[in-house]
A and B are shown apart, each in its own frame.
Chain A
């Protein structure tokens, strides 16, 4: 056998790059359809009356959220893990046949899970728990996929050459542990075939149906402990892992303060788990728990801004790179959006603000400036940085990337500004009353007023989707672009015109 020098093996990283892009397109496309359904209800019948069951808002909505969270974002997390993990631990997956097998099995089982989720949600099979819609057989499959991810993380750590674990590795480990705990506890459920009704009937309902092990308020508490921390350990922690690697690497600048990164890490871990109660303000959960949710949400600004400022200061003295490189632009605007949404979130969690914001479109706007501006930008930046290194070719087009950046930034701005106005208008109208306490408006009055903002939101989402298609095309063309030497890949990614 030929004796070749050892190289990092990006096979699994490439596989997950593919699902990141495909599921990103699917999730965002469904999102745009939903946005236009809200503005123009006839879009619910886009494929005719006969197929309305499959195209209406309620059927598509979980497909949008789950495709973006568990499809696009988690593929991005896995893809970057199989890239960053090897590099900062200085060990190649080619060195372990076992880890390579686990990695590939992880990918293929994940794909089976995705297929099961898509089919079951389209059929309308759901547990009706937000972001935890999957029935028990799929839950079990997801646990297996997650255990494989864990085996891969700890397996690679086990054979590493670099003794210390880089800060990104801490964040990847936290992602693994956090999601494992959240997912298991929130999805505790009993298949209905095992249950017995008060009348003594057994074997109730379809075999795949289940009911939550928690009831009423307890179910809501566990659900939002899960729901908010899914944001923590899916949309924050692993994305911070990415930026701590990709921004320093692409810019060639050491992290501004490694100590601050350690401090922010522990701050985030301790505070985030207690903030979920803010989803249940003014509900039936104990008052002290609501207050705790509010307080911890406000404290959360500190560790979040600790990471974000650390990233912005990493560019200290090197701001010309932001102007020169669209790839750095994505990351710098990503961390700016991170700062912005981690300020907006705590503001919404303050009880008096929440009295207006709760159930309104402002919340939807908040989620999207975080996910489009921070999660989406960072994952695309990570894939842009990885592409020349895994394909050994320059990025197909720098100008296409720059155009994409501006189109998507405009999209995000249109999205969150329209939702701010819509949400606050909605909140104020719901509360308005005359001197006798009669409500001033009926629900349909708010719908009429919000129509233009819903349209603007649809346009914003469409612009983001167009940008994402440009991203997909750019990566696709990169696979056959000009080959590059290893020496060109040290820091700033090589890009064609």
Chain B
């Protein structure tokens, strides 16, 4: 097997792997619906809708500090 053939197999394997990662990510998003912090992904749209400086953040940095 020469280098070009190796590259071709490597390329094919990488593409297959990336497809798996992509579909895994889709499955993860739509089955879990929530991220590691327990927020529904769709809540994050509110970051744009409620973006006045005194609006409550979706996930506040200061909440994070209080937990610690």
Which residues of A come within 8 Å of B, CB atoms?
Answer: 5-8, 87-88, 90-92, 160-164, 166-168, 244-245, 248-249, 252, 254-255, 257-259, 262-263, 266-267, 270, 288
Query: By the criterion CB–CB under 8 Å, are B55 and A258 in contact?
Result: no
Known: A160-B61, A162-B59, A163-B60. A263 touches B49 (CB 8 A): no
Query: By the criterion CB–CB under 8 Å, are B22 and A90 in contact?
Result: no
> Which 9 pairs, one residue from A and one from B, show the smallest C-beta to C-beta distance?
A254-B45, A162-B57, A163-B59, A166-B47, A87-B51, A259-B29, A255-B45, A258-B41, A164-B59
Chain A min CB distance to B7 (Å): 9
Q: Which residues of A contact B29 (CB under 8 A)?
A: 259, 262-263
Query: By the criterion CB–CB under 8 Å, are A161 and B61 in contact?
Result: yes
Tell me the bound Cα distance from A259 to B42 in angstroms. Answer: 7
Chain B residue at smallest Cβ distance from A95: B53
Given contacts A90-B55, A160-B61, A249-B48, 4 further A-B contacts (CB under 8 A): A162-B61, A259-B29, A270-B18, A288-B8
Known: A164-B44, A259-B29, A262-B29. A90 touches B49 (CB 8 A): no
Tell me the bound Cα distance from A262 to B26 in angstroms. Answer: 9
Chain A residue at smallest Cβ distance from B42: A258
Q: Which residues of A contact B62 (CB under 8 A)?
A: 161
Q: Which residues of A contact B22 (CB under 8 A)?
A: 266-267, 270
Which residues of B come within 8 Å of A, CB atoms?
Answer: 8, 18, 22, 25-26, 29-30, 33, 39, 41-49, 51, 53-55, 57-64
9 contacts between A and B (CB under 8 A): A7-B53, A87-B48, A90-B53, A90-B57, A162-B60, A168-B48, A257-B42, A259-B41, A270-B18
Query: By the criterion CB–CB under 8 Å, are A162 and B47 in contact?
Result: yes
Q: Which residues of B contact A7 (CB under 8 A)?
A: 53
Chain B min CB distance to A364 (Å): 33
Chain A residue at smallest Cβ distance from B44: A258
Q: Which residues of B contact A248 (CB under 8 A)?
A: 45, 48-49
Query: By the criterion CB–CB under 8 Å, are B60 and A259 in contact?
Result: no
Tell me the bound Cα distance from A161 to B56 in angstroms. Answer: 9
User: Mostly helix, strand, loop or mixed at chain B's interface?
Assistant: helix
Query: By the criterion CB–CB under 8 Å, are B61 and A163 in contact?
Result: yes
Q: Which residues of B contact A262 (CB under 8 A)?
A: 29, 41
Tell me the bound Cα distance from A272 to B4 in angstroms. Answer: 24
Q: Which residues of B contact A167 (CB under 8 A)?
A: 44
Tell me the bound Cα distance from A252 to B51 in angstroms. Answer: 12
Tell me the bound Cα distance from A435 to B63 in angstroms. Answer: 79
Q: Which residues of B contact A168 (CB under 8 A)?
A: 48
Query: By the criterion CB–CB under 8 Å, are A166 and B48 in contact?
Result: yes
Point out the residue from A8, A259, A263, A270 that lies within 8 Å of B53, measured CB to CB: A8
Tell me the bound Cα distance from A491 to B61 in angstroms. Answer: 26
Chain A min CB distance to B61 (Å): 5
Tell me the bound Cα distance from A7 to B52 in angstroms. Answer: 9
Residue among A8, A91, A162, A252 facing the most chain B CB atoms (10 A cut-off): A162
Query: By the criterion CB–CB under 8 Å, are A263 and B57 in contact?
Result: no
Point out the residue from A161, A255, A266 that lies within 8 Å of B60, measured CB to CB: A161
Tell me the bound Cα distance from A423 to B30 in angstroms. Answer: 44
Known: A262-B29, A263-B26. A161 touches B48 (CB 8 A): no
Q: Which residues of B contact A263 (CB under 8 A)?
A: 25-26, 29
Chain B min CB distance to A262 (Å): 7
Tell me the bound Cα distance from A255 to B45 in angstroms. Answer: 6
Tell me the bound Cα distance from A161 to B54 in angstroms. Answer: 10
Tell me the bound Cα distance from A346 to B41 in angstroms. Answer: 31
Chain B residue at smallest Cβ distance from A88: B47
Query: By the criterion CB–CB under 8 Å, are B53 and A164 in contact?
Result: no
Q: Which residues of B contact A258 (CB under 8 A)?
A: 41-45
Q: Which residues of B contact A267 (CB under 8 A)?
A: 22
Chain A min CB distance to B2 (Å): 14
Chain B min CB distance to A286 (Å): 10
Tell me the bound Cα distance from A87 to B47 in angstroms. Answer: 8
Chain B min CB distance to A258 (Å): 5
Q: Which residues of B contact A245 (CB under 8 A)?
A: 48
Known: A90-B55, A163-B59, A262-B29. A252 touches B45 (CB 8 A): no
Tell me the bound Cα distance from A305 to B58 in angstroms. Answer: 28
Query: By the criterion CB–CB under 8 Å, are B51 and A88 in contact?
Result: yes
Known: A257-B42, A270-B18. A163 touches B57 (CB 8 A): yes
Chain A residue at smallest Cβ distance from B33: A259
